[in-house]
Chain A
Amino acid sequence: MLTDRDMERYDRQILLDHIGRKGQEKLKKARVAIVGAGGLGTAASLYLAAAGIGKMTIIDCQVPELSNLNRQVLHWEEDVAMTNKAESIKEKLSSLNSDIQIEAITEKITTENIDVLKDATIIVDCLDNFSTRYSLNEFCVKNQKPLVHAAVEGFYGQLTTIIPSKTPCLKCIFPKMTDKEIFPIIGVTTGLFGALEANEVIKLITDAGEVLAGKLLFYDLLSNSFDIIEIKKNEKCEVCANI
């Protein structure tokens, strides 16, 4: 049930036919996990908290460094080398919206502890490496949880929404990705893609519009052009073929 305060706080989005009071109630009941509290995680969690997601879990084991601050805009100078990233975001977003629950998990997600995501109804991939993304992908496929994926570099990024059993999984589309420690990036790219991830989550919860299921969006901020291409399942996929 929405309170009077909810009705006031979320008034401008309740006015939307696509959301309305029912949609807002769904957002309030939703449980969303944001895996990674870097550039993507900052933007995604900011807009999801503002939109009134009832419970958010933010997961990251790192502490901010000065070189993170060009894009991870919820970590501030006072947090550098001091506050865990998940805790840092929890602290800022609790001041933005004290009506929602925010949980911070300060561990690295591994196959051993990934069950901490069991309560989430939707999972948002805000990671910076594919080795953890592959574990997250397997977990989501096995547990039939939608996974919103984004990845960025430079002025460029990609986005898709994985619905297990229906769409290709991450391993179908990107089977052999290798990781690098440091990648060049401008904050607007992570900001844009994190916001687009939040938008996918809001649409998944409220059934508004359509999500990028079976579609991969590329956005090139240098040329201001975006493309959407259809993606197909690998029938022999080691992760999702037999689900």
Chain B
Amino acid sequence: MAKVKFFATFREVTQEKETEVEACSVEELLHKFVDKYGKKFEKLVFEKDEIPTELKLRDYVKILVNGRNIEHLDKLKTRLKNDDIVAIFPPVGGG
């Protein structure tokens, strides 16, 4: 089981600070969350694509797996194993 921490808007939409989930990849994990948390979560995470089979992560979502941004790993295909810690948060840039 991967341990997932939600921050800011993701915490508001899921109404949870953290959860645990069985998933082999980040993509599978997000699909499970769409099933669990519904349309609002889906809208926050995925681009509405012309071809619905191809999933694209919105710029709005930042995901770290064990402290590494998935952009530097395998993006949506990043593999997950037991006890991995996943952090999901929006970009914050104000000052």
Q: Mark B38-65, 1 if CB is under 8 A from A, else 0.
A: 0000000000000000000001001010
A118, CB-defined interface residue at 8 Å: no
Q: Are A172 and B72 in contact (CB under 8 A)?
A: yes
Q: Assess A185 versus B94: contact at CB under 8 Å? Given A227-B5, A232-B68, A234-B69.
A: yes
A151, CB-defined interface residue at 8 Å: yes
Q: Mark B67-93, 1 if CB is under 8 A from A, else 0.
A: 111011000000000000101011111
- Cα A152 to Cα B62 in complex, Å, equals 15
Query: What's the interface size class on A, roughly?
Result: 35 or more
- Cα A69 to Cα B91 in complex, Å, equals 24
Q: Are A129 and B93 in contact (CB under 8 A)?
A: yes
Which of A151, A225, A234 contacts B95, CB < 8 Å? Answer: A151
Where chain B touches its partner, the secondary structure class is mixed
Chain B residues whose C-beta falls within 8 Å of the C-beta of A152 in the assembled complex: 92, 94-95
B32, CB-defined interface residue at 8 Å: no
In the complex, number of A-B residue pairs with CB atoms less than 8 Å apart: 90
Q: Mark A48-62, 1 if CB is under 8 A from B, else 0.
A: 000000000000000
B1, CB-defined interface residue at 8 Å: no
Q: Are B89 and A218 in contact (CB under 8 A)?
A: yes
Chain A residues whose C-beta falls within 8 Å of the C-beta of B91 in the assembled complex: 174, 177-178
Chain A residues whose C-beta falls within 8 Å of the C-beta of B68 in the assembled complex: 231-232, 234
Q: Assess A153 versus B92: contact at CB under 8 Å? Given A227-B7, A229-B5, A229-B87.
A: yes
- By beta carbon, the residue of chain A nearest B71 is A175
Chain B residues whose C-beta falls within 8 Å of the C-beta of A223 in the assembled complex: 11, 17
- By beta carbon, the residue of chain B nearest A155 is B8
Chain A residues whose C-beta falls within 8 Å of the C-beta of B69 in the assembled complex: 172-175, 234
Q: Mark A162-185, 1 if CB is under 8 A from B, else 0.
A: 000000100011111111100101
Chain B residues whose C-beta falls within 8 Å of the C-beta of A183 in the assembled complex: 93-94
Q: Assess A156 versus B8: contact at CB under 8 Å? Given A176-B71, A177-B91, A229-B64.
A: yes
Chain A proximity of B76: nearest CB distance (Å): 14
Q: Are B93 and A179 in contact (CB under 8 A)?
A: yes
- By beta carbon, the residue of chain A nearest B73 is A234
A220, CB-defined interface residue at 8 Å: yes
Chain A residues whose C-beta falls within 8 Å of the C-beta of B89 in the assembled complex: 158, 218
Return 15 A-B CB contacts under 8 Å, by A number.
Answer: A126-B95, A128-B93, A128-B95, A133-B93, A153-B8, A168-B67, A174-B69, A177-B93, A178-B59, A218-B7, A227-B5, A230-B67, A231-B64, A234-B72, A236-B72
The residues of B with any CB-CB pair to A shorter than 8 Å are 5, 7-8, 11-12, 17, 59, 62, 64, 66-69, 71-72, 85, 87, 89-95
Q: Which 10 pairs, one residue from A and one from B, show the smallest C-beta to C-beta distance?
A: A128-B95, A232-B67, A183-B94, A231-B67, A234-B72, A40-B95, A156-B8, A230-B67, A151-B92, A153-B92
Given contacts A129-B93, A168-B67, A218-B7, list 20 more A-B pairs with CB under 8 A.
Answer: A125-B95, A126-B95, A151-B92, A151-B94, A151-B95, A157-B92, A158-B92, A173-B64, A174-B91, A177-B93, A180-B93, A190-B94, A225-B17, A227-B5, A227-B17, A229-B5, A229-B67, A229-B87, A230-B66, A232-B67
